[in-house]
Amino acid sequence: MFKNMFKSGCFVRTAHAILTWLITLVLFLHNTDLRRWGERGDVLQPLMFSAVVLLSVLLYFTVSLMDPGFVLSDDDTQGTPVVRDEELETMIPQEQSSVKQRRCGFCFLLQPMRARHCRTCQRCVRRFDHHCPWIHNCVGERNHRWFLLYLCVQFAAVCWALQAACSGVAFASSWPLWFSRNGFLLAAIGVTGVFSAVVLLLLCVHLYLASANTTTWEFMSRHRIVYLKHRDSEENPFDRGVVCNLWDFFCVCGTVAWERIYSRRANGTV
């Protein structure tokens, strides 16, 4: 049963929620800035902190539970064959000989360009970035922007929590007494400190990936990807400049025909 819970992501998601609210409870129970503001009648700061924490939890579950952009199988589209045919025709331009259809070696579906099979999810994901064990879901075309937004809010929450935890550390006449008074706060400082560093690193990495219109998989495995390995190491056929890349990343919500963009670049057109 425990193994099934871990595989389904229930254990990881529950642990994330419990840890988040446990640290929040520790910060409000100790003599931190959050508690002192509340005792003085200034409830705005505690309410804002609680709202940021709540938003981070909601975004976490949104990214964790939403469809990252799974490639539809014939069973998924049964009863709507016309829609499926139109999708394939739009995504894969048959008139361009430079773009070849590729079937996944695991699920045997036709893979759109930039899609990859995730062995953990056992599905092909459009514009695959990576499989994140912490959210127990893939990061792909549909949830990558939400993943980046989650990282922004999470970074604000853990940094604020780290500052609040440090503000509550009390002095004592001896080391044993100091540890006994501040044990929970020290644990909170340790957890939020580690999370601050990790989230900041992920945030910087994914902001760079979004600005360059590339993915973690493409960046790390360029030499093994058919449509990239024969190009120069600095050449990205999907790059349209930082501004356009960020606009497309955050504002374009539909499915993108990467094959057509790649074909236009291959033929020297924009």
Point out the residues that are catalytic: 132
Provide the angle, in degrees to the nearest 10, between the axes of the packed helices 175-212 and 242-251: 110
- Bridge-partner residues for 124, per DSSP? 117
Cβ atoms < 10 Å from Cβ of 129: 25
Tokens of 108: 């045997």
Question: SS3 for the chain, per residue?
Answer: CHHHHHHHCHHHHHHHHHHHHHHHHHHHHCCCHHHHHHHCCCCHHHHHHHHHHHHHHHHHHHHHHCCCCECCCCCCCCCCHHHHHHHHHHHCCCCCCCCCCEECCCCCCEECCCCEEECCCCEEECCCCEEECCCCEEECCCCHHHHHHHHHHHHHHHHHHHHHHHHCCCCCCCHHHHHHHHHHHHHHHHHHHHHHHHHHHHHHHHHHHHHHCCCHHHHHCHHHCCCCCCCCCCCCCCCCCHHHHHHHHHHCCCCCCHHHHHHHHHCCCC
d(CA 93, CA 80): 21
Farthest-apart Cα atoms in the chain, separation: 80
| Radius of gyration over every alpha carbon of the chain, rounded to an integer in angstroms | 23
